[in-house]
Amino acid sequence: MLPETLPVGIAEAIPTHLRRRSRGRFASRGGAWVVGLSVLVSLLALLPIAFVVGVYLQTGWSTLVPLVFRPRVGELLVNTVLLVVITIPLCIALGVALAWLTERTNLPGRRWWSLLATAPLAVPAFVHSYAWVSLVPPIHGLFAGVLVSVIAYFPFLYLPVAATLRRLDPAIEDVSESLGLKPWAVFFRVVLPQLRLAICGGALLVGLHLLAEYGLYAMIRFDTFTTAIFDQFKSTFNGPAANLLAGVLALCCLAMLTAESAARGNARYARVGSGSAREQRVVQLSAPLKALALFLQIITCVLALGVPLFTLGKWLMAGGTQVWDLPELLPALEQTLLLGVAGAALTTCAAIPIAWLSIRSPGRLQRLLEGCNYITSSLPGIVVALALVTATIHFARPIYQTTITVLLAYLLMFLPRALVSLRAGIAQAPVELENMARSLGRSPARALWLITLRLAAPGAAAGAALVFLAITNELTATLLLAPNGTRTLATGFWAMTSEIDYAAAAPYALLMIVLSLPLTGLLYHQSKKTAGR
């Protein structure tokens, strides 16, 4: 689930001299096919954007105006904007508070709290919503949307903020304190500004999820652009209203990307000077503060983990052995695993050329190619799926309704997840070794495979795991694109909850959580490592 949380930690960790040194001569020699492949992958990534633009160009002005400029679109815009502007600050506040408590204070059991703050990620967002709806049936609307979103997505902020907090040089804080700043002022004027990149990255990730999520909001009856597009799809397949709404949603995503890159600023965050930073001081909390902090941790845990686990347990008990309909569950599990593994393998392979270029031969072309992939992956699954349905039905009939199309959608949506980890891995493989293999007569591809990719394997594995996790919980694109007869855990869960058969849905939810747990653990472990601990 977490692509952009990692670059905050990792991108800065790549020494710039490593990127520079390898430029030039090398790329021009063996790199032609790598460039070719990268261009190919990036062109694919442009497909959904071409679709959105195409729809607008093709739809006549007279059709477009009444479908886009109507009160319903206004309602959806208000809903979506309110959701974003309320949820993101709450996520930031909660994420930063929890990160500070677990990283900087003597809160009892802070290692455990840190793990527990990551764990909600193992619960798919629509399972959070399912838990709340069956616990408090009348819950709905903006309040419910904000509540469940904060609970489901705050770890996206917690993780990068905690990782950054761990690396901060305490010297700056000491200096400001010695100059007379009170502890609170130190936090807001010195610590918080240093967290800017982590907060921006995490907030962007949360924001994109808010725009793209369908299941969460559908279940608690909160209409956003994504749910409205889905309603239109269910009534008209890829009719003009669905496609035009998709265009508006795509614009919202681009606006969010732009806002984030503007908010990042150009400040320098790396420490200056020789030697290593001193150990950070642990803040001693006073007893009432400690109680308050523990209360915050406990309440977060109860809401984000307690509620889903309690509800799931309740339904599993109520359903008994009857809901474990193995002839249905096992094929769903098998298909989820197959799609996950194939999707992760394909996406990771497709990321290799771009990742290699960005380390060995960074430049304008490479940044452009990478940008294409980031923009597309920020588009909601429903937009990508609508684009692929339309493209394959008209122009690529042989792959229409085949697994290839679903995998292609996964590739477009999740490529950056693989890219980020893979890039970090390749950056740590010395270019000299690859050059040496070339000088000993290995072809560029073999040198890349024998040397660099082997050294980058852990990064690639982490990237593949992230993609796998995302595919396991993917709902919208799978619903639209899956081949006839396909049922994954997510779509099975969705079919059951649509019939209000909450007990029968519980085993699907449990299996998704079990599949996600080890990967969430990996993510936690990786974020610790990023910070060098």
Partner 1 sequence: MISRLPSFLKKALLATALVSAGHVYAADSVGIVVYNAQHEGLTKAWVEGFTQETGIPVTLRNGDDTEMGNQIVQEGAASPADVFLTENSPAMVLVDNAGLFAPVDKTTLEQVDSAYRPAHGKWVGIAARSTVFVYNPSKLPETQLPKSIMDLAAPAWKGRWAASPGGADFQAIVAAILEQKGEAATLEWLKAMKTNFTAYRGNSSVLKAVNAGQIDSGVIYHYYSLVDQSKTGENSQNTALHYFKHKDPGAFVSISGGGVLASSQHKEQAQAFLKYVTGKEGQDTLKNGTSFEYAVGKNAQSNPKLVPLQQLDAPTVDASKLDSKKAVELMTQAGLL
Nearer to partner 1, 12 or 223 (CB): 223
Helices (H), 105-169: 110-118, 125-135, 141-153, 155-167
Helices (H), 59-140: 61-68, 71-104, 110-118, 125-135
Q: Which residues bind partner 1 (CB under 8 A)?
A: 66-67, 70-72, 75, 137-138, 218-219, 221, 223, 228, 231-239, 241, 338-339, 341-342, 345-346, 348-349, 393, 397, 400-404, 407, 443, 445-446, 448-449, 453, 483-486, 495, 498-500
Measured from the CB of residue 123, what is the shortest distance to partner 1 in angstroms? 21
How many other C-beta atoms can be found within 10 angstroms of the C-beta atom of residue 49? 18
Measured from the CB of residue 363, what is the shortest distance to partner 1 in angstroms? 25
Nearer to partner 1, 130 or 154 (CB): 130
Nearer to partner 1, 101 or 456 (CB): 456
Longest dimension (CA), the chain: 71
CA nearest to 105, candidates 97, 116, 117, 94: 97
CA nearest to 84, candidates 266, 206, 172: 206
Nearer to partner 1, 36 or 109 (CB): 36
Q: How many CA atoms lie within 13 A of 440 on its CB side?
A: 10
Measured from the CB of residue 432, what is the shortest distance to partner 1 in angstroms? 20
Helices (H) and strands (E) in the chain, counts: 30, 0
Measured from the CB of residue 320, what is the shortest distance to partner 1 in angstroms? 13
Nearer to partner 1, 447 or 512 (CB): 447
Q: What is the C-alpha to C-alpha distance for residues 472 and 490, in angstroms, rounded to an integer?
A: 7
CA nearest to 208, candidates 261, 253, 247: 253
Measured from the CB of residue 43, what is the shortest distance to partner 1 in angstroms? 19
CA nearest to 205, candidates 126, 270, 149: 149
Measured from the CB of residue 425, what is the shortest distance to partner 1 in angstroms? 14
Measured from the CB of residue 404, what is the shortest distance to partner 1 in angstroms? 5
Measured from the CB of residue 229, what is the shortest distance to partner 1 in angstroms? 10
Residue whose pair of structure tokens reads 């990160």 in the numeric block: 99
Q: How many CA atoms lie within 13 A of 343 on its CB side?
A: 31
Nearer to partner 1, 165 or 475 (CB): 475
Nearer to partner 1, 217 or 524 (CB): 217
Measured from the CB of residue 486, what is the shortest distance to partner 1 in angstroms? 7
DSSP state of 452: I
**Amino acid at the residue 13:** A
Nearer to partner 1, 334 or 432 (CB): 334
Measured from the CB of residue 396, what is the shortest distance to partner 1 in angstroms? 12
Structure tokens at 478: 């799978």
Measured torsion, CA atoms of residues 328, 522, 384, 203, in degrees rounded to the nearest 10: 130
Q: How many CA atoms lie within 13 A of 297 on its CB side?
A: 24
Q: What is the C-alpha to C-alpha distance for residues 12 and 269, in angstroms, rounded to an integer?
A: 9
Residue whose pair of structure tokens reads 């497709």 in the numeric block: 350
Q: What is the C-alpha to C-alpha distance for residues 157 and 159, in angstroms, rounded to an integer?
A: 6
**Amino acid at the residue 317:** M
Nearer to partner 1, 135 or 338 (CB): 338
Q: What is the C-alpha to C-alpha distance for residues 185 and 172, in angstroms, rounded to an integer?
A: 13
Measured from the CB of residue 191, what is the shortest distance to partner 1 in angstroms? 44
Nearer to partner 1, 60 or 138 (CB): 138
Nearer to partner 1, 58 or 236 (CB): 236
Measured torsion, CA atoms of residues 83, 86, 91, 96, in degrees rounded to the nearest 10: 160
Measured from the CB of residue 257, what is the shortest distance to partner 1 in angstroms? 29
CA nearest to 238, candidates 407, 71, 382: 382
Nearer to partner 1, 280 or 402 (CB): 402
